[in-house]
Amino acid sequence: MFQQLADGARLAMSATATLPDLRSQKVVVLDRVLRRSIYERYGRAVSASHGRRRAEIKAERNRVAKHLRHLAHFKALHESAGLPPFAILTEFAASRAFDVIAEYCGAERVYAVWHKFLTVRPQRLSDPEGALPFHQDGYFGQYEPFIRAWIPLAPRSIGDSSPGLQFLPEPGTLNWYPIDEAPTSRDYAGNETSHSVIAELQKARPPFRPIVRTGDAIVFLGDCLHGTYVPPGAIHDRWALEFTFIRASDEVVRGFKRDYCMFGRDTIWWPKDETIVAWYSNPQGTPPADPFLRIDVPNAPKWLPGRWKRKSTS
Ligand SMILES: O=C(O)CCC(=O)C(=O)O
């Protein structure tokens, strides 16, 4: 049964594929989600920036306000990649990965907690302790799991000659497992799933370890057990980009103050950095009246995009 899921979860870019159901599958692998002209340039900028000395990166980060550190880095990456501002976001919003997420959310807008939205995920072979153990990403309100899109940026092949991800999905069920009492992880001990639970699940079926290429996407729900997989034959370090979304109503999201962004099919609402920083640094003050930039998504496909075959209703 698991093997069927693993095979069935991989969708070739094909006009006949049916939009996958993230809710029941928990993890979906999509081929060629981003255009090469975008991911190659962005990937080069990411790996070059991570190749610099740690101290240099730290000094650069400390020059900008805390809440903007990730954003300053994001802007700098676009600049050094020679890409227009926000290109990686608009590319993602027009992608089939976003179709899957929007379908799961069943709403016009998909949200993200802004300061946690975008993460670069390096995994160096010289740092095996930096690998994440099996864990669940957490949840939001009513145990609604986070939704993650993990996009490999470099090298070309991930999960065989470089570190990838591994999953133990339990299709259809929502289950939060206990945390291990004697965790071994360096960076992630507080979220390391019980080793005995993992051993039991692995007895029932082997982990799903997709081999992906740059520009593909792995989309998964936060309750799906997963972690880093360092294949025995790995010879390259790896860089990936990770987006984290949530399914929520406008009303719930208001509780995040201004710390969120929204994705719609043809528009992204992205916080205007200066007003947000002012609000964060003086939360008693008047909230910014118009805190979001509206970013148009060029070539946004209409819902339901023609690239997906409709599900049979019979
Ligand atoms: O990038 C990785 O190796 C692990 C990513 C992961 O498990 C996470 O972000 O929750």
Domain ranges of the chain: 2-35+84-296
Q: What is the pLDDT of residue 51?
A: 63
Q: How far is the CA of 121 from the centre of ligand 1 (A)?
A: 7
Q: What is the pLDDT of residue 8?
A: 37
Q: Report pLDDT digits (tens) over 294-308.
A: 999 998 887 777 888
Atom of ligand 1 nearest to the CA of 119: 9
pLDDT at 114 over 50: yes
Q: How confident is the model at residue 98 (pLDDT cuts 50, 70, 90)?
A: very high
- In this structure, the number of other CB atoms found within 10 A of the CB of residue 95 comes to 22
Mean pLDDT of the 243-258 span? 84
Q: How far is the CA of 161 from the centre of ligand 1 (A)?
A: 17
Confidence (pTM): 0.89
| 279 or 250, higher pLDDT | 250
pLDDT at 87 over 70: yes
Amino acid at 43: G
CA-nearest residue for atom 2, ligand 1, is 228
Q: How confident is the model at residue 59 (pLDDT cuts 50, 70, 90)?
A: low
Q: What share of the chain is helix, strand, coil (3-state, %, to 5)?
A: 35, 25, 45
Q: How far is the CA of 123 from the centre of ligand 1 (A)?
A: 9
Q: Nearest-5° angle of CA 49, CA 53, CA 59?
A: 85
Tell me the C-alpha distance between 114 and 258, whole Å: 9
H helix intervals, the chain: 2-9, 22-25, 36-51, 54-62, 69-81, 87-93, 96-105, 195-204, 250-254, 273-281
Ligand 1 pocket, mutate which of 121, 239, 241 (most atoms under 8 A from CB) = 121
CA-nearest residue for atom 3, ligand 1, is 228
Pocket of ligand 1 (CB under 6 A): 121, 123, 132, 137, 165, 226-228, 240, 242
Tell me the C-alpha distance between 134 and 184, whole Å: 11
Token digits of residue 37: 């002209």
Q: How far is the CA of 209 from the centre of ligand 1 (A)?
A: 13
Please state whether the peptide bond connecting residue 304 to the residue before it is cis, i.e. omega within 30 degrees of 0: yes
Q: How confident is the model at residue 281 (pLDDT cuts 50, 70, 90)?
A: low
Count of positions (residues) in the chain = 314
For residue 73, what are the contacts with CB-CB under 8 A and spacing of at least 6? 49, 61, 120
CA-nearest residue for atom 1, ligand 1, is 121
Q: How far is the CA of 68 from the centre of ligand 1 (A)?
A: 22
User: What's the CATH class of domain 2-35+84-296?
Assistant: mainly beta
**Least trusted range by pLDDT, from 1-15, 190-204, 271-285:** 1-15
Mean pLDDT of the 100-128 span? 88
Atom of ligand 1 nearest to the CA of 226: 7
Q: How far is the CA of 269 from the centre of ligand 1 (A)?
A: 26
Write down the mean pLDDT value for the chain: 84
| 13 or 202, higher pLDDT | 202
Q: Cβ distance 28 to 219 under 8 Å?
A: yes
